[in-house]
Structure 1
Amino acid sequence: MEHWLNKRAALSPNQIAIEMEDHSVTFLQLQQKSQQFARQLDNLKPNGHIAILSDNSIDMAVAFWGCTYLQTPVVFLNTRLSRSEWQQQCNDADVGLILTSSHYLEKAKHLNVSVESFLKVKKLTVNEVPLLDEIDAEKVCSMMFTSGTTGRAKAVQQTFHNHWSSAVASSLNLGLLPEDKWLVCLPLFHIGGLSILIKSVIYGMPVYLLEKFDADKVHQAIMKSAVTLISVVAVTCSRLLERLGSERYPDSFRCMLLGGGPAPKPLLEQAKAKQTPVVQTYGMTETCSQIATLNEKDALRKLGSAGKPLFTATLKIVDEKEECNPNQIGEILAKGPMVSPGYYQHKKQSNEWLRTGDLGYFDEEGFLYVVDRRSDLIISGGENIYPAEIEEVLLMMDGIVEAGVTAEEDKQWGQVPVAYIVKNDKQLTTDRIKDYCKDRLANFKVPKQIHFRDQLPRNATNKLQRHKLK
């Protein structure tokens, strides 16, 4: 298959590819900038994979597409993680070079990995090296870290075929209109953000890119910049509805795709009352974004549902023995061409079905309802937090004998982590524990409350029972 960006630049050279508040680039300009960046990047010849550490920007998009011309998988790093977490992920993904924005350059320089800023690369000599002109669909395009049941982050491999299949399946469900423009306020280092950047090139659709979510900027873009689609999580959706007030979005605005975990019913009811089209979607890093999505015509009739599996995707619900009947809760299993081939440097599962670990059910009409993202998973503002990862850090602190972490409901973030601790140091305070965590964890993973207990609930095999923490 011809390189997607080459094909799109040939088909739609003057069509806007990425629009930001102060400037924009066409598909032809994006191609030219990306190819030049690739030729400049060739000077560095990294010994390993290339990671990108950046907030949303055209430079970040250019760096990503530039790496595809060198057939180098891009490892995306979450900007909200701590330095030690970045180092661990770079080690696990065999990263030889980090490309970063000026904002993160100083912090990244302390890592045991080569680091260069986008600006520095753009000043290097433009080497006349051959660039990839045909994509091998089975090659890995990107890697993103997501936690497994142990809490240790693993690099999900996403092939070009995975991304292509996801984009095609999404368009078959939502449709594709000539006037479509998709606003991206999710980070490009998340699959929810990157998938839209890739859809843009495959569809020939402009993207309105924001550096970060800002309710006022998103509101103005929808009202005045002809945005037709936006992907959100519950907390950002809530803020947008609050910002909307008594106004109404223009008729040209098609919908908000709501992902990142089960949506609170009150939020969906609020959107319905404001006549704001919100469609729930279900997906994960391992499925290259959405694998089931409610369509617009069923949005109000099936409030709370994540819709039906996309055209090329298959889902089933199983219990411990067999496939579940309608309205019977079980684990969600997925397969399809958008499902990742596996985790980097982990043994591939022989079973063709991806066991998501999520619980849900189908109703009589085949609409999916997600009951819980995973039994222990905490979803805070769309970010996945695994208790085991926080517990591991807590148990490294002197004075802590046992630690258990669970979720507590929060009006702003949906959920926040809360820790329960058994200590053997009477001088140990909650402030000291929080400070310790802040040095080792991303801010959104730091427990918002610390509770001291004489003992934690455990079963007969001494396994911690998180659901009994209180």
Structure 2
Amino acid sequence: MANVITCPIQRHASSQGDAVAIYLSHNGASLSYAKLNSKVSAISLSQVPKGEVLAVIHNDPLTLLTMMFACLRQGIIFCPLNPIFSQQQLQQRCTQAGIRYYYGPSSIALTDVTPIDIHQPTQRAECKLTLAQACTLVFTSGSSGDAKAAQHSLGNHYYSALGSQQLIPFCQQDCWLLSLPLFHIGGIALVFRAFFAGGSIALGTKQIAQDLTHYPVTHASLVPTQVYRLLQQPDMLTHKSLRYVLVGGAALDNELLKQLANGPFKSFASYGLTEMSSQVASVELTPSSQQPLQYQVLPDREVEISKGEIILKGACLFMGYRQLGQLVAVDQRLGFASKDLGAIASRKLCVYGRKDNMFIAGGENVQPEQIEQALLSLPYIKGVIIVPIPDPEFGQVAAAFVDWKNTTQCQQLQQDSKQLLAPWQRPKHLLPWPQWQGLKPDRKALKQQAIAQLITEVEMAKHHSDAKEQ
């Protein structure tokens, strides 16, 4: 049956057992497919009933990798949780999804969630897998609302990897840098791409330039911030093995787009989301590329537009959200309403921004991403995030968190905004660049942060004025 496949690690252990599966460290340590297969086979999850979810809370990527494939073989749904989450955040996610078992440090104690030991004997491991079986549970980033627990089948990951191959080839001699966390769909997707093809992955550090020096990396998945930092060290890129870079997770400013288009490797911008098992559409960046980018929809993905909103279907569409231990299945026939706005022609997709990010200023619809795209064309801006804040005159106005390239140039930005933007789009408030957890900014939290900062500024100004009058 075409629906049944062998665990890719076991398959490659049989056909090319000595080939490197994982590069572990800069000092040359590695694991062959045969040794990785043995590590996965040695893990017992007999305390967890088949079909249940196991939350894995760990900061070691090798542990996460081996646990993911041990879960897969033993019919358990693998759910990686960010180890930097507080006890309250971990509890909230487990309660929300109805998770009853977890593997993690002894310092964690979760209510109604049983800790497990992986060293008990079992005979249940199975290397024959079905594409229909539930495989992973990945929480969305929550960048525009509360994080949701998205459940994927093995088939979702399989077809996601297969479609990616059509645009970005990856073979047994190649190595993909694990530069994204495994509690993010992008990290999981690149592992499946590499292992289905029989290539290798390299366990990344925060020093990507050093990773490229010490590992034989041919492929890398990066967010724009990582790319920007990498390109600040051009000497690290000479004579390296890196051939393909896949960039996603945030908008590219025009300067970064040009640098990538003229770089020493092929660069692809990507549109994707957790609910579609990562990549939906990608485009190779060339010197002629310009915003808005026209992404090529990959095989096994279907994209439709309904009232301006992107609707997604196909073999990569997730199974549904898990709530209180039950799967709320997505209607595969109707598809998934992404809340992204866009247009499509001949499988070329333009993405304009989030439907739920739009706000009204003085009766006009304002799309934050359009403002960000315009301001990122300015040479002195490295990053910008637009959020709406209440305004007594216009209802809502734009506030801009700005990451300046060198020096702060507020007056210049206000002047240039008049040339680039309509009056209702121009940022009324400029705020310092924030910090956040995860790969993408949480706009909901940043909106509250902007409001709090502006209230503080008003109160300080009033206090200063009162002091002067006295």
Common fold, TM-score beyond 0.5?
Answer: yes
Alignment match, 1:86:
90
Kindly indicate whether the alpha-carbon contact (under 8 Å) linking 1:186 and 1:213 is maintained by their aligned counterparts in 2.
no
Amino acid at match of 1:79: P
Alignment match, 1:236:
226
Alignment match, 1:166:
160
Amino acid at match of 1:338: C
Does residue 269 of the first structure (1) align with residue 258 of the second (2)? yes
Alignment match, 2:362:
none
Distance 2:301 2:177 in 1: 25
CA deviation map 1:37-96 (0-9, x unaligned): 1x3x31566994210112242121111111112100012212343322211110122212
Distance 2:281 2:164 in 1: 9
5+ residue gaps, structure 1, are 321-329, 392-403, 414-433, 455-470
Kindly indicate whether the alpha-carbon contact (under 8 Å) linking 2:168 and 2:244 is maintained by their aligned counterparts in 1.
no
Does residue 222 of the first structure (1) align with residue 212 of the second (2)? yes
Does residue 179 of the first structure (1) align with residue 167 of the second (2)? no
Alignment match, 1:3:
7
Tell me how far 1:266 sits from its aligned partner: 2.2
> For 1:280-291, what aligned pairs fall within 5 Å after superposition?
280-291=269-280
5+ residue gaps, structure 2, are 359-367, 373-384, 390-395, 406-433, 457-470
Alignment match, 1:312:
300
Kindly indicate whether the alpha-carbon contact (under 8 Å) linking 2:140 and 2:149 is maintained by their aligned counterparts in 1.
yes
Alignment match, 2:313:
335
Distance 1:88 1:5 in 2: 33
Matched pairs, number? 381
Does residue 370 of the first structure (1) align with residue 348 of the second (2)? no
Tell me how far 1:361 sits from its aligned partner: 3.0
Tell me how far 1:252 sits from its aligned partner: 3.5
Distance 2:309 2:256 in 1: 25
The alignment's TM-score, normalised by the length of structure 2, stands at 0.71
Kindly indicate whether the alpha-carbon contact (under 8 Å) linking 2:272 and 2:281 is maintained by their aligned counterparts in 1.
yes
Task: Choose from 206, 215, 223 the match for 1:213.
Answer: 206
Cα distance change on mapping 1:84 and 1:47 into 2, 3 Å: farther
Distance 1:300 1:316 in 2: 29
Cα distance change on mapping 1:408 and 1:201 into 2, 3 Å: same
Amino acid at match of 1:348: V
Deviation larger for 27-36 or 147-156: 147-156
The structure with the largest alpha-carbon Rg is: 2
Kindly indicate whether the alpha-carbon contact (under 8 Å) linking 2:100 and 2:112 is maintained by their aligned counterparts in 1.
no
Kindly indicate whether the alpha-carbon contact (under 8 Å) linking 2:46 and 2:122 is maintained by their aligned counterparts in 1.
no
Cα distance change on mapping 1:112 and 1:203 into 2, 3 Å: same
Tell me how far 1:142 sits from its aligned partner: 0.3
Q: Secondary structure of the equivalent of 2:128? A: coil
Alignment match, 2:113:
113
Distance 1:405 1:161 in 2: 44
Task: Choose from 300, 318, 330 the match for 2:287.
Answer: 300
Tell me how far 1:208 sits from its aligned partner: 0.6
Kindly indicate whether the alpha-carbon contact (under 8 Å) linking 1:56 and 1:188 is maintained by their aligned counterparts in 2.
no
Does residue 357 of the first structure (1) align with residue 339 of the second (2)? yes
The alignment's TM-score, normalised by the length of structure 1, stands at 0.71
Amino acid at match of 1:355: A
Alignment match, 1:146:
140
Task: Choose from 17, 34, 39 the match for 1:28.
Answer: 34
Distance 1:451 1:10 in 2: 59
Distance 1:148 1:196 in 2: 21
Distance 1:50 1:201 in 2: 22
CA deviation map 1:407-452 (0-9, x unaligned): 7333289xxxxxxxxxxxxxxxxxxxx9xx99xxx99957654245
Amino acid at match of 1:408: A
Cα distance change on mapping 1:407 and 1:43 into 2, 3 Å: farther
Cα distance change on mapping 1:136 and 1:369 into 2, 3 Å: same
Superposition CA RMSD, Å = 3.7
Kindly indicate whether the alpha-carbon contact (under 8 Å) linking 2:80 and 2:183 is maintained by their aligned counterparts in 1.
yes
